[in-house]
Each structure stands twice: as C-alpha cells, then as structure tokens.
Amino acid sequence: MSETRTSTGQAFRATLKRDLLIAYKRKNDVVNPFMFFLIVATLFPIGITPEPERLGEIAAGVLWIAALLASLLAMDSLYRADYEDGSLEQLLLSSHPLYFMVLAKNIAHWLVSGLPVVLVSPLIAYMLNLPPESYLILFVTLLLGTPILSLLGSIGVALTVGLGSRGLILAVITLPMSVPILIAGTLTVQQTLNGASLLGYLAIMGAMLLAAISLAPLASAAALRISVN
Amino acid sequence: MVRPGEHDILLTSMHNLNSRQESAVQRANYMWMWFSKLGSPKWFYELSGKWLPWLVVAMSLLLVVGITWALLFVPPDYQQGNTIRIMYIHVPFASISLAFFPLMAVAGTITLVWRMKLADMVAKTAAPLGAWFTALALASGSIWGSDIWGTWWIWDGRLTSMLLQFFLLVGVISLRSALEDAEAAAKACAVLSIVGCINVFVIKYSVDWWNTLHQPSSGFSLSDQAPNPPEVWIPLVIMIFAIYLFFAVSLILSIRNEILVRERRSQWVEELVQGT
Amino acid sequence: MFDSIQFSSIGEFFSMGGYAFNVWTVYTLFVLFFAINLYFPLIRKKQILSEQKRRLIVNREMQTLKNDDGENS
Amino acid sequence: MASSVASTNNDPNSVPTIPALLDARDLFCERDDRILFQALNFSVTEGQVLQVKGSNGSGKTTLLRILCGLNDAYRGTIRWYGRAIESQAEEFYAALLYMGHRVGVNKVLSPLENLRWTCSLQQQVDTDELMVALAEVGLRGFEESQCYTLSAGQQQRVSLARLLISNAKLWILDEPFTTLDSLGVKQLEALLRGHADEGGAVIVTTHHQLKVADLRELTLG
C-alpha cells in the first residue's frame, strides 16, 4: 500500500489526462461538433448570398455564431457520462478543491472541442471571403473567446446534468449568456479592420477570459453539487 | 405520518441541550432555527395579510392620480406629441424590470447560504413576474419608439439588452419547471440567478458598446430624455411608485399562494382552510 | 385645475393628436396586465383553498373509516 | 417512524477515551413530505463494521450520501474524530472511500485506466500496484479491455479493486454485494474483515448476512 496523498496538481493532471483519454477513445464526440461547425458555416453562403463582397462583411459574425453553436452542441458530453456512471460522485468526494477538478475537465473539453474549431477557422474565413488582414485577429479572438464559451456552457450543463432531455433548455440558458463574448469577438474583428488598435480589444477579451476562468468553475462546482445531491 | 412542526424540533433540540454539554455546533443549529423562524412562511403570511390592504389602497390612489395626470394634464412633447404619455407606463416598467435579477440573486444567495424557505418562494414567484414586466417594457418601448423610428423594432441598445434579459428570465423559469425535486430546483435556480445577475450587467455594458459602435448617432434613444419640467416628471415619479407598489402587491399575492401550497400539511394552513 | 387639461373635447382626447393607436395600445396592455396579475393570484388562491378543503375532508373520512374498522375487529 | 438505535453511546456520563471515528447525532431527514429518519444517533469506531438495514425506500442510500456529504438536505451534526466535518473537510475526504450504486467506472476506459484515475484522486499509485489489485479481484486479462465489454459484476469488481489499494480509514459502501457472484461475496467479506482488523471502519448497506467480528447494526424505517 502506498502512503502518499496526491497533491491537487497531480489530481488535476490525472483528471485532465483521463478526460483527454476518453475523448481519444470516443472520437465521435470530438468530430461531431467540428463537423457541425463546418456545416453551419457552409449554410450561410447558401442561405444568404454567394456574392463575395457581402459574404466578406458577415464572415466574422458567421464564424463566431457557428463556433458558438458548435460549442453548445459539444457541451452536452461534458458531465453526462460521468453523472450516469457515478464518476462525478468520486470527483466530488476527492479531497481536492472541486474548482480545480472542474477546471481540468473544462480545459480537456476545450482542447478537444474548441481548439479544432479555432484551428480550422482561417480556412473557413478564406472560403467566406473575410479580408485577409483579419485572419490573424479572428484566429486570436476565437482562441481567447471559445474557452469562455466552454466555461460558461459548463455552468449550464452542470445545472441540467440530472435532466433526462435537456438539449433545448441548455440552449435557452447558455446562449443569452454568450452574447457579450459574441459582441467582443465580432467587434474586435470589425473595428480593427476599420483601423482601431487591436491591443485594447484584445485586453478586453483577455480580461473576460480571466474573469471566466476564475469565476465560472466556482459556479459549475456549486451547480454540480446541487445536481448530484 | 405526522409531520413535526418547528415546535417539536425546537423541543428536541432543547432537550439535547439540557442532557448534553452545549457544543458550538448545536448552538449554531439553534441560532439557525431561530433565524428560519423569523423568515418563516407563517410569519410572512400573517404579516403580509395585515399589510396587503394598505398596499392596495396606496397603489390604487397613486395609480388613479398618476394615470389621470399622465393622460389629461401632461402637455404634449414638442417633438413626440402625445406619445410622451406612453413614457408613464414604459419607464416604470423598464426600471422595475432591471430590479428582477438583483432581487433573484439576493434571494438565491439567501437560499444557498441560509436555506430560508421564504427566499426561494420570492425567487420562484419573481421569475415569471419579471418575464411579464420585461415583456411589457419591451412592448411599450417599441410602441413608443415606433413613430420616431418608423418601425416597430430597431436594435436599440436598451431594447436589445432588455430582450436578452427576457431570454435569461425564460431560462430561469424553464430550469425551475424542468427540475422535479423542489429543493434541487431552488438551489439550481439560485445559482443560475446569481450567474444571470452578473451576466445582465455584462450584457448591458457590452450591448451599449456594440450599439454605440454600430450606430454612432441613432437620434432618438429611449434612454436619453432631455431635462424635463416638473409637470412632466412629477407624474412620472408618481407612476413609478404606483407600479412599484403594484409589483409588490402581485408578488405578495403569488408568494402567499406559494406558501399555502408548500405548507399545506402544516397545522396552521389546515386550520386556515377549515376556517374558510 | 380643469383649465390645464390638455384636450378641449372627448374626441380630441381619444384621438391623442393622431397617436391614438400607440397611446391606447400601451394603456390597454397595461390595464390588461394589471387586471390579469391581480385576478389570477386571487383565482389561484380560491382553487388552492378548495382543493385543500377537499383533501382534508377525504383524509378525515379515511380516518373515521379506519377507526371504525379498528372498533369492529 | 422510530428508528432502532444500535451502536450508540447515549450515557452522558461515560466519557469515551478516544472520540469515535464518525459520530452522528440527532439526524433528521425529510424527503417529499415524508420523514425518512429523525433523532437518529449512531457512531462508528475504529475496527467496527456498521451494517445499515431497512426496507426499500427507508433512506439507506440517503443516509450514506448524507454521511459523505453528497446530500445536504438534513439536520443534525456529523462529527469526524469529534469535530465537525466542515472544519476539516480535506482530512475527512482524504480518509473516505465511497462506493455508490453507480460504481464510477467509465465505459470506454479500461479497468486499469479507471482504477488509476479514481485512485489518483486520493493517493499516488503505480501501475504494478494497480495490476496486482485488478488480478486479485479476478480481472486478470481484462486490464486493458474497454469496460463496456465487461459484465456488471466485473465492473463492480473494478471498483472493488479500489478497496485493495486505498488507505482510506472509512469505507462507505452502498449495496456492494448486489452484482457479485458467491466468490466475489466471500472476497468482499474478507476485505471488510481485513479493513476492520487493521483499525478501519466500514458503513455498509446490504441485506446480506455479514460475518464480521465487531458488527453493529442500524435499522431504518
């Protein structure tokens, strides 16, 4: 019998590794939101106009909304399996602060569902005729913004994890909360295109990300305790 | 099954205090019981029963004075003409709508920290009422602005953040109805209200920011009114008070119903039912 | 006091200087909302009380039935 | 309504030399307007096995969940070594092992990966140790296969392997015998005995007749 207790850092890494391993073994959960993002982005030119000029104007918004919806779709798998098989109870009963365990799960989830969307965004941006000078800015805003979407979505999922069917209620709860990030993301792209300095906007998004990292897992943790109760 | 009243629990705990040395934990327990007694549904039901008639009288008086003044005596605005009279409905509703999330967040905090039953009843009844108030504020706002805007809806900063607040309120209501266990629903909605309250402020600022960048000069905005003479703002203050009272009265009425449902098995409610 | 009324006739009052639709829609909505929000809680209260009363009566009947059974056996 | 109280120490004059491992006083729990238990007193000391009995719906699972802090809809005090749990949550949870109805085994991961994660939430483990434990609960050869290919009993065994590795002082087990075969039952009993002999304590719900030296019973409902 080993006698050493794990530090919070070790437990954090173990949880992160476990969730990444699960994602690796369940490739569907990773691929589906990504495909969803591509398909939604494709629907806009078909539904609105194939005309390059007008597409270029709405490209940033389209990409952001597609990323938002993809993130929402991916959220569902965050706690559900753990809730159903009892792993969530084990997580709650560990001697480490739940904040870090939730954060580990959120990070793992973003790495497999948010990051691929961010990585492919320049390609979609090209297809939607976004002005080339905006690629980098769009990429950076998505990189800063999608983790916030994941962290906020986590609260909604944690609140509804005990419900049988919760697809719609999750959307009703989380989508309005995502509006400030949508605004910050799209405004950054548009305003820098108009010649505003990028730094101020990125600072705002960075501040939002920091606030989300420090507060959202607390709310998720409280919500998980309630849902498991 | 006999349900012990608060009294029995108090007695049990007193007995324990005598038979054993009083520990800090038990003292805390005792304090908690005293606190929950203060905010007990029965206490609120009786107190609100006494206050309700006075509130209704005050509300009616203010409403009659306010509406008569607004409809008959306020001079037409030099720009908006008689549509200025819509302001006396819209502004009170809009201002109360902003109070719902803070109210629900405070009630939610009390629910989570002190587990006071009454706080959750306030939160539960406030959510649908808030959705109604917000909806009316939205409707009256768009009707008021329609003449100047030339359309029923524009993506004005105020209207947009009000619409988003409406969605957030609907989210709280649907979460409440989706969760079957009343206690879990109470706590989950408490968390969502606290998160939502923070979010309402973030949304408000971000939407204002978004709006000013997209429409640098939108001309007429519901938010900026020129400084008005007393004959314009005094009736507005009266209407704000009247509609605040109306809000209080309808909230209290709903809370009283909620109390009757939740406490239906307690002695005092059964006696009350017998008396009718 | 009546001098400061802004309208010279009832017709003028109802026409609201051409804004009849806007002004009266809002005020009608308000009155409806006001009435509904006071009426429904009162109706609901009546419902709750009558339901409770029925439940109590049924409970008491069950109780007496049980007691009778106990005495007979 | 009344709950028979088994291992209690109600005499106020007898001062215990060591405070009980876990001590519950005056527990009251109500669910859906129905009182599950009230004025419930019991304690567990080192070396004891407390078996919680009761009919279906009598609140056994609820009681266990209350004890380990998963459920907070109760009144009363629960003390760990004589002090309230909230004041020493970290120590308490480091010394607690809980096994619920849902065994906490992820379906796509292998037994080894599952065990490694659950154990490393509490203590440092190495792979050899995990493999030995899995072999001991009869999962030799299944260490690397995904858990959805295993039977319910085998999945239960994955979580039983935790008992072999964990150095938690208090085990709270909710119906651990249900899906086990007779061999598994014997093995688990031996584990419980061994844990008690080493100075640990067990709180377990089961209808099974346990053969343990210092067995206490608590009947609900």
pLDDT tens, position by position, A203-215:
999 999 999 999 9
Angle between helices A135-160 and B157-178 (to 10 degrees): 30
Sheet architecture: strand order including D215-219: D96-99, D170-174, D201-205, D49-53, D215-219
Hey, is the C-beta of D125 within 8 angstroms of any chain A C-beta?
Answer: yes
Domain ranges of chain D: 1-95+169-221, 109-167
Confidence of residue A3 (pLDDT cuts 50, 70, 90): low
| Residue B7 located in a structural domain | no
Q: What are the tens digits of pLDDT across the range D163-180?
A: 998 888 999 999 888 888
Q: What is the pLDDT of residue A68?
A: 93
Q: What is the pLDDT of residue B27?
A: 54
Residue of B nearest to C38 (CA): B250
Chain D contacts to B (CB-CB under 8 A): 1, 12, 25-26, 28, 33-35, 38-39, 73, 75, 77, 79, 84
Q: Which two tokens stand for residue B66?
A: 């306010």
Q: How far apart are CA A66 and CA A38, in angstroms?
A: 8
N- to C-terminal Cα separation, chain A? 32
Least confidently predicted of A51-65, B28-42, B71-85:
B28-42
Q: How far apart are CA B40 and CA B44, in angstroms?
A: 6
| Residue B45 located in a structural domain | no
Q: What residues contact residue A199 under an 8 Å CB cut-off, 6+ apart?
A: none
Exposed/middle/buried for residue C40 (C-beta within 10 Å: 0-12, 13-18, 19+): middle
Q: How far apart are CA A62 and CA A138, in angstroms?
A: 12
| Residue B76 located in a structural domain | yes
Q: How far apart are CA B79 and CA A120, in angstroms?
A: 52
For domain D1-95+169-221, give the CATH number.
3.40.50.300
With a cut of 50, say whether residue D6 has pLDDT above it.
Answer: no
Number of independent structural domains in chain B: 1
Percent of chain D with pLDDT over 90: 19
With a cut of 50, say whether residue B16 has pLDDT above it.
Answer: no
Give chain A positions within 8 Å (CB) of D170. Answer: none
Residue of A nearest to B212 (CA): A187
Chain center to CA of A207: 17
Domain that holds residue B86: 52-275
| Residue B23 located in a structural domain | no
Q: What are the tens digits of pLDDT across the range B112-169?
A: 988 888 999 999 999 999 999 999 999 999 998 888 788 888 888 888 889 999 999 9
Q: Across residues A102-118, what is the average pLDDT?
A: 94
DSSP string of chain B, one letter each residue: -PPP-HHHHHHHHHHHHHHSPPPHHHHHHHHHHHHHHHT-HHHHHHHHHHHHHHHHHHHHHHHHHHHHIIIIISPPBTTTBGGGGGHHHHHHHHHHHTTHHHHHHHHHHHHHHH--HHHHHHHHHHHHHHHHHHHHHHHHHHHHHHHHHSSS----HHHHHHHHHHHHHHHHHHHHHH--SHHHHHHHHHHHHHHHHHHHHHHHHHHHHHHHHH-TT-S--SS-PPP--HHHHHHHHHHHHHHHHHHHHHHHHHHHHHHHHHTTTSHHHHHHHHH-
Q: How far apart are CA D92 and CA D44, in angstroms?
A: 14
| Contact: C18, B74; criterion CB under 8 Å | no
Q: Which two tokens stand for residue D216?
A: 């206490």
Q: How far apart are CA B233 and CA B200, in angstroms?
A: 28
With a cut of 70, say whether residue C45 has pLDDT above it.
Answer: yes
Q: What residues contact residue B242 under an 8 Å CB cut-off, 6+ apart?
A: B59, B62, B63, B66, B92
| CB nearest to D104's CB, from A5, A26, A85 | A85
Hey, is the C-beta of B85 within 8 angstroms of any chain C C-beta?
Answer: yes
Residue of A nearest to D109 (CA): A22
Q: Across residues B58-85, what is the average pLDDT?
A: 87
Give chain C positions within 8 Å (CB) of B250. Answer: 37-38, 41
Q: Across residues C35-45, what is the average pLDDT?
A: 92
Hey, is the C-beta of B202 within 8 angstroms of any chain A C-beta?
Answer: yes
Q: Across residues D107-122, what is the average pLDDT?
A: 91
Q: How far apart are CA A217 and CA A224, in angstroms?
A: 10
With a cut of 70, say whether residue A65 has pLDDT above it.
Answer: yes
Q: What is the pLDDT of residue B32?
A: 60
Q: What are the tens digits of pLDDT across the range B177-226?
A: 998 888 889 999 999 999 999 999 999 888 888 887 765 444 444 444 55
| Residue B103 located in a structural domain | yes
| Residue B261 located in a structural domain | yes
Q: How far apart are CA D163 and CA C70, in angstroms?
A: 52
| Residue B41 located in a structural domain | no
| Contact: D33, B9; criterion CB under 8 Å | no
With a cut of 50, say whether residue B11 has pLDDT above it.
Answer: no
Q: How far apart are CA D83 and CA B31, in angstroms?
A: 19
* Bridge partners (DSSP) listed for residue D31: D34
Q: Quick check: D50 and D202 in contact, CB under 8 A? A: yes
Report the gap between the CA of D4 and the closest CA in chain B (Å): 17
Residue of B nearest to C54 (CA): B273
Confidence of residue B35 (pLDDT cuts 50, 70, 90): low
Hey, is the C-beta of B72 within 8 angstroms of any chain D C-beta?
Answer: no
Q: What is the pLDDT of residue B33?
A: 59
Exposed/middle/buried for residue B167 (C-beta within 10 Å: 0-12, 13-18, 19+): middle
Q: Which two tokens stand for residue D26?
A: 């005056």
CATH of the domain at B124: 1.20.120
Hey, is the C-beta of D72 within 8 angstroms of any chain A C-beta?
Answer: yes
Percent of chain A with pLDDT over 90: 65
Q: Across residues A86-107, what is the average pLDDT?
A: 93
Residue D159, helix vs strand vs coil: helix
Confidence of residue B18 (pLDDT cuts 50, 70, 90): very low
Least confidently predicted of A94-98, B143-147, B185-189, C43-47:
B143-147
Confidence of residue B2 (pLDDT cuts 50, 70, 90): very low
Chains with ≥3 Cβ pairs under 8 A against C? B
With a cut of 50, say whether residue A21 has pLDDT above it.
Answer: yes
Chains with ≥3 Cβ pairs under 8 A against D? A, B
| Contact: D12, B19; criterion CB under 8 Å | yes
